[in-house]
Amino acid sequence: MSVRGLTPLFKWGFSLRRSKFLVPLVSNNILVSGEEAVTSQQIQPWTPHAVLSVVETDSSQPQQPICGCELDADANTCSYSDNIKLNDNSSILNHKDNCSPPAAAQFTNSPTLIRSTSTTSTKPSSITFSSTTTFTNLPRSPKSLLPSPTDLLDEDIINLVESGQIPPHQLETVLNDHTRAVNIRRNIAERAARRNNLEVPEHSLSTLPLLSFDYQQIFGSCCENVIGYVGIPVGVAGPLLIDGLQVLVPMATTEGCLVASTHRGCKAITVSGGSSSIIISNGMTRAPVLKMPSAARAVELKEWLEIPQNFERVREAFDSTSRFGRLKSIKTSIAGRNVYPRFKCHTGDAMGMNIVGKGVEKALEILKQDHPDLKIVSLSGNLCTDKKPSSVNWTDGRGRSVVAEAVVRKIIVETVLKTTVEALIELNQSKNLVGSALAGSIGGFNAHAANIVTAIFLATGQDVAQNVESSNCITLMESTDEGDLHISVTMPSIEVGTVGGGTALPGQSACLNLMGVKGPSKDKPGTNADQLARIVCATVMAGELSLMSALSAGHLIKSHMRLNRSKSEQIRGDSLPA
């Protein structure tokens, strides 16, 4: 009998509530079931515990009860003990519950049940008990008799998953070994990929890192169906002088030149006296879509929300859901009979999507009480707007709205950046302003803000998809009366947090530590996240300054040819991709 043919047993083993009884027959490391062997009364479900093998014993030896404990012949009962006893270098099954007398399990030539110590996988062969073999008055709960997945070989677990007996996303829970679960799942993924496409190599995931990672830390919080992790190089730019504080900025990227270029911009700004930053506003947003019976009723709801007393009722309900979430405003838009109230709130040091989501759900209960004809279509109506280009984030802001500025001395522009103030100003106007306007850009009046935002987000455990709105930026350059360069970047929707999500992972936590913004602020909630937003904005300014200088001086292709290609490409002399 094959392992795959025994899957109904394991289905019973993992879903015992569906069976009133389960009787064990033993077959070379695999426990099989057979209702036909039962001549007993009511039997309690059994819990998987160990894989068994059979060792035939002399019938003249004292009979062993089915629980596996040693027999106390004088008392005619089992010796209750949790101590492991050895028999032929194998561990006799532990006794977990009170046992019945030895008559509880009557065998012909009674076998001794032991834990298998075999490390090799062999096909199970069936074993037949004599016709006189009976099972009567079985022990109340012999937990040691059904196999536990932790005792099965990886190949057996894979067969159970592929046959639908174990859902692949539950491997960590079933095995209680996260690294083993990840390894088994990646083997299943490799097989499935090859079955669907024979061009996929047999061991397609062999170079995907597996070890040296705490999978238990991300289970249920950061990722599902894990098959490994991807290593991304982390470089450091700086120090960058921001508001009188020198900061080293970690950047995770696979794009050559990016860290080096940003580092050059940091140097030019720092030696010129540093940068300053200011937070214009702060508020995470969520805009549900609500439906009223008519457009007139939709307008009535909008006007109801604008009454101060009603807003206070909604605010109290919203604020009751979190220690840090504090509702600031509700701005309502209408389309037909649909209503889109855009809630904006403080979220402390968290990025805040969960906080604002919980608060909005509670606030909608108040709206529903006063407007029973209100229908909640969705918690998100896309006016929030999350992870999508939108003018509302560009004009009204989301997360932290920040401005960073610096004056870069003319001599530094010429010696460090290898260009001139006049050339930079002309290029910025022609490219970042006019060119972006012709492209119909929303929030894209910059050279490459998304490059720096994404690299810092990856390094610090932010929600990387939010680089869409977080990269909204306009870069401005002008000459001072002294002939130096004044540069500023305005970023109205930087969405960052120093607690929650991926910020707690060891590597990302270390990068936050490097900047002195790890975790919640002890003095004033939100201070650390504010500082991280300032750092992002100022570093974007450094990246803008350096790239624009390279474009102005005609150095872009030369530097990318030197730093942005793999060694093999350099040897082959391949051209840069278009």
Indicate the CATH number for domain 288-378. 3.30.70.420
pLDDT-derived band at 150 (thresholds 50, 70, 90) equals confident
Alpha-helical regions (H) of 272-371: 295-305, 308-319, 353-370
What is the C-alpha separation between 252 and 455, in angstroms, rounded? 5
What 3-state DSSP class applies to 87? strand
Mean pLDDT on 328-335: 98
pLDDT tops 50 at residue 129 = no
pLDDT-derived band at 562 (thresholds 50, 70, 90) equals low
Per-residue model confidence (pLDDT) at position 51: 36
User: Is there a catalytic annotation at residue 463?
Assistant: yes
Per-residue model confidence (pLDDT) at position 148: 75
User: Is there a catalytic annotation at residue 255?
Assistant: yes
* Percent above pLDDT 70 for the chain: 71
User: Is there a catalytic annotation at residue 346?
Assistant: no
pLDDT digits (tens, 9 = 90+) for 419-472: 999 999 999 999 999 999 999 999 999 999 999 999 999 999 999 999 999 999
Average the pLDDT over each of 5-9, 112-116, 354-358, 432-436 and give the range with the smallest value: 112-116
Per-residue model confidence (pLDDT) at position 561: 66
pLDDT digits (tens, 9 = 90+) for 354-371: 999 999 999 999 999 999
* Catalytic-labelled residue, pool 97, 151, 255, 569: 255
Domain ranges within the chain, ordered by starting residue: 1-150, 167-218, 235-281+400-565, 288-378
pLDDT digits (tens, 9 = 90+) for 267-298: 999 999 999 999 999 999 999 999 999 999 99
Is the pLDDT higher at 418 or at 16?
Answer: 418
Mean pLDDT on 104-133: 37
* Catalytic-labelled residue, pool 156, 396, 463, 469: 463
Average the pLDDT over each of 122-131, 225-234, 540-549 and give the range with the smallest value: 122-131
Question: The pTM is what?
Answer: 0.75
CA 167 to chain centroid: 19
pLDDT tops 50 at residue 122 = no
Per-residue model confidence (pLDDT) at position 3: 41
Per-residue model confidence (pLDDT) at position 104: 34
Mean pLDDT on 189-197: 92
* Catalytic-labelled residue, pool 11, 291, 328, 387: 387
pLDDT tops 60 at residue 307 = yes
Out of 3.40.50.150, 3.40.980.10, 3.90.770.10, 3.40.190.170, select the CATH number for domain 235-281+400-565: 3.90.770.10
pLDDT-derived band at 35 (thresholds 50, 70, 90) equals very low
Mean pLDDT on 521-530: 94
The pair of structure tokens assigned to 148 is 């536990």
Per-residue model confidence (pLDDT) at position 196: 87
What 3-state DSSP class applies to 31? strand
Which of these, 97, 101, 80, lies nearest to 141 by C-alpha position? Answer: 97
pLDDT-derived band at 151 (thresholds 50, 70, 90) equals confident
DSSP 197-212: -TTS-TTTTTTS--SS
Roughly what angle, to the nearest 10 degrees, separates helices 295-305 and 308-319? 80
User: Is there a catalytic annotation at residue 123?
Assistant: no
Alpha-helical regions (H) of 103-206: 154-162, 171-175, 178-196
Per-residue model confidence (pLDDT) at position 149: 76
pLDDT-derived band at 564 (thresholds 50, 70, 90) equals low
pLDDT digits (tens, 9 = 90+) for 71-100: 444 444 444 444 333 333 333 334 434 444
Q: How many other CB atoms are found less than 10 A from the CB of residue 187?
A: 18
* Catalytic-labelled residue, pool 331, 358, 368, 560: 560
pLDDT-derived band at 566 (thresholds 50, 70, 90) equals low
pLDDT-derived band at 555 (thresholds 50, 70, 90) equals confident
pLDDT-derived band at 59 (thresholds 50, 70, 90) equals very low
Beta strands in 19-131 (DSSP E): 24-27, 30-33, 52-55, 71-72, 77-78, 86-87, 90-91, 112-115
pLDDT tops 70 at residue 257 = yes
